[in-house]
Amino acid sequence: MNLRTSIIAAASFIFMLCVWGVVAYEGEHVMSMFGQIDSYRQQIVTDEGQAATAQDLHKAFLGVGDDPHIFDQYFISATDSPDFIGGIETLAQSTGLGVNVGSVDIQQGTGGNDLVMSLSVSGSWTDILRLVRLIELLPYAASVQSIDFESSGAGGQQAAPAGKVPVAGWNADIELSVAAQ
């Protein structure tokens, strides 16, 4: 092989490496653009879904008509409040928590009267969060106003029944508010 052939072969090899580098770089760039396009497509689908949900809600409210009592089921009445309080206690106990109802009061809220209730619970972190989620899912205009957590006992371990693994113990003071009639 003479010198000229070697130079052409080396130049061709360097040129191929450059072309390969450019193709690889542009390929990554094109792939990232496809990722962005897919992200935009998902955003459009989400926005269209939210628009459809908003239209459904609008239609539902238009269907209410002149019946002012249609939303009464979302409010606690004075006669229902003992059952509601007992239901919260039962809900907490069913999730495996110890529960103590502190205070229950009717307060003037921004939209009317609110039943404000404070309770102390003790148990695992997961069980406390499960209770909070269940309270938020109740078929009432209810909201958790505040939660104060504190690890219980030495090392935060809760005594476990025989044959079970001890779990971290927590105490939580929860204040919740429910719209009242």
Chunked in runs of 10, what are the mean pLDDT values of the chain (181 residues)? 81 83 71 72 65 60 59 74 87 89 83 86 90 87 89 58 57 90 76
Residue 24: CA count within 13 A, CB half-sphere: 6
Q: How far apart are CA 54 and CA 80, in angstroms?
A: 32
52 and 76 part of one domain: no
pLDDT for residue 70:
61
* 156 and 174, same domain (yes or no): yes
Distance CA 21, CA 41 (A): 30
Same domain, 127 and 153: yes
**Per-residue confidence (pLDDT) for residue 137, from 0 to 100:** 86
For the chain, the domain total comes to 2
Query: Last residue of a domain, which of 63, 89, 105?
Result: 63
Please tell me the predicted confidence (pLDDT) of residue 21.
77
d(CA 118, CA 105): 9
Give residue 118's pLDDT. Answer: 94
Q: Are residue 77 and residue 120 in the same domain, yes or no?
A: yes
Question: Is the domain of 76 the same as that of 162?
Answer: yes
**Same domain flag for 89 and 173:** yes
Are 15 and 86 found together in one domain? no
Structural domain of 124:
72-179
The answer to whether 146 and 175 have CB atoms below 8 angstroms apart is yes
Name the residue among 175, 167, 133, 135 with its Cα closest to residue 151: 167
Identify the pLDDT of residue 2: 80
